[in-house]
Chains A and B, each alone.
Chain A
Amino acid sequence: MIEIGGFTALYIFMLSAFTGYEVISRVPVILHTPMMSGSNFIHGIVLVGAIVVMGGAESTLEQVIGFIAVALAAGNAVGGYVATVRMLEMFNPKDKKGEA
């Protein structure tokens, strides 16, 4: 595992914060809801942490909490993805249904 020392983490944190701010500052209003949904999907990366923690679980209590963590995280990632795709599909001109 790569060591992430205190200051390295602080730099990562600072640069990521600016990145997030910059990326969203140019988003048109029409994409705000899909954007919120998309960013909601991205923090589904918590699944990675849940897998690691659950993998290292030793007592039954740890296994139970770890199991909950993985299930919740998977829900976050999958739900966030499907919701975002459904919303964004509507902006796709090719799929536009000629509804009358």
Chain B
Amino acid sequence: MDIFIQVVYFVAAVLFIMGLKKMSSPVTATGGIVWAGIGMIAASLVAFFEPGVFTHTSNVVLIIIAIGIGSAIAYITAKRVQMTDMPQMIAIYNGMGGGAAAAIAAVELVKMAGGHGGGSAHELSSTAQVLAVLGALIGAVSFSGSAIAFAKLQGLMKKTIRLPMHMVINSGLFVLTVIAGAIIGFSGDVSIQLVLLFFILALVFGVLFTIPIGGADMPVVISLFNALTGLAVAFEGYVLENAAMIIAGTVVGSAGTLLTQLMAKAMNRPISNILFASFGSDGGAAAEEDIEGSMKEIQGTDAAIMMAYAEKVIIVPGYGMAVAQAQHKVSELTKILEARGVKVMFAIHPVAGRMPGHMNVLLAEAGIDYDKILDLDEVNPEFPTADVALVIGANDVVNPVARTNPDSPIYGMPILDADMAKNCIVIKRGKGSGFSGIENHLFYADNTRMLYGDGQKAVGELISGIKEM
């Protein structure tokens, strides 16, 4: 039986890695997640046959109830959620994983504290003891931090909260948590009270760590927590001597770290800057600058004519499109433009929306071929020959100050050169500035026209305008 369990874990680990590999190409991606899913089911089933699990029948019943509750809630929420709200759902499921890893460690530490319920004191090797504590710390921070990330993206927590001397409080709290953890990890003598204190400290640290970070930076933070959860799972895997957990956790840990770096790089900000400095606080000073020109409004019908007689149109979607649920209208617009012989392509900035690839997912949902969807490097040479660049709810990612003004907080960030197109139409809800609070010089440019209104309504006007021709 033991060999059988190990073989299944081994196969599961292989399936996870192959699944991830398949997920790295759009053609095989759907198969990839299925492979990983099969691995997960197999591994979970054999886990019931691990020595010790079937000794208490009541525990087995409780496990099945717990799986039922957890799966049902997650299944219903994941099925119902709008595509646009996916990022925060990833955050919450990730937080659950972190919480589970922390809870596993908690059980081990409580067992170690021993005596309770007549159980014999549990023996862990010293390495396992330290790793259990480390995994608990990381998992708990990921749990409470992800919950805050969810609240922020869901709009439950609008403001970035900064306590006075936030950095000092955070550092102090972190040091306290580590000290508490070190006492538990390195001493054989553990009290329940100390374990409880340690978990409370870690959870509070996760909250305080996340609340000062702005919503625009959340994708990077979610990605970081994803990597951290992976690491926590790997550490608890060592404690439980479970190779499948070590492998899967570590693979996610390193893949997540790389993804976090890629995202931060696309925003041209060092990760430390995102995590330890709030964007808005230093952006305020730069707002007081002279901007040449003024914002010029355009009506939907005029914009429609401009696009209908264009040869090449590049659409630049942003978070505004996601909020307005305008992706289906955009898809319809693409079809009628193409029916008139207009070449349409999409320009996706790596951090458009709230996560890398967020826009691609939405456009794919609306039935737009992914070969029409271009990356920053592919699409930028196309702008100078485009007749119209249609910006839908994107702001900072098309702000030319990133190229021109070294004082700007976003200077140096790679942007989409929408300003290079012959004409630029910007669909925008109001006159306010973007997430970072920086004025967008594109909106004031001579070749830019502003089409005010909700994304869905504005694109609807364009469609009816073109149809009337």
Contacts and interface: CB of A to CB of B under 8 A. Distances in A.
Interface of A: 1-4, 6, 9, 12-13, 16-21, 23-63, 65-92, 96-100
A58 to B, nearest CB: 4
Interface in B215-243: 222-223, 226, 229-230, 233-234, 236-238, 240-243
22 contacts: A2-B243, A16-B234, A16-B254, A28-B24, A29-B360, A30-B348, A33-B357, A35-B255, A43-B97, A45-B249, A46-B233, A51-B48, A54-B62, A54-B66, A62-B107, A66-B62, A72-B70, A75-B73, A78-B78, A89-B30, A91-B29, A96-B367
Contacts of A85: 30, 33
B110 A74 contact: no
B6 interface: yes
Interface stretch (B35-43, B169-177, B308-316): B35-43
Nearest to B250: A16
B74 A43 contact: no
Interface centre among A28, A40, A65, A70 (most CB of B within 10 A): A40
Given A41-B40, A69-B100, A87-B86, A53 B117 contact: no
Between B26, B97, B245, the greatest number of chain A beta carbons within 10 A of the residue's beta carbon is seen for B97
Contacts of A35: 20, 23-24, 255, 259, 357
Given A3-B241, A38-B36, A40-B97, 13 more contacts: A12-B250, A16-B247, A17-B253, A20-B256, A21-B258, A23-B20, A28-B26, A44-B40, A61-B117, A65-B103, A68-B100, A74-B66, A78-B71
B252 interface: yes
B356 A32 contact: yes
Contact of B116 (A37, A49, A61, A82): A61
A84 B254 contact: no
A33 B236 CA distance: 26
Interface residues of B, number: 126
Nearest to A45: B248
Contacts of B107: 53-54, 57, 62, 65-66, 69
B78 A73 contact: no
Interface string B250-277: 1111111111001100000000000000
Interface in B354-404: 355-358, 360-361, 364-367, 370, 373, 375
B246 interface: yes
A36 B230 CA distance: 12
A7 to B, nearest CB: 11
Contacts of A51: 44, 47-48, 50, 53, 63
B356 A6 contact: no
B332 A48 contact: no
Contacts of B328: 99
Interface stretch (B88-96, B202-210, B449-457): B88-96
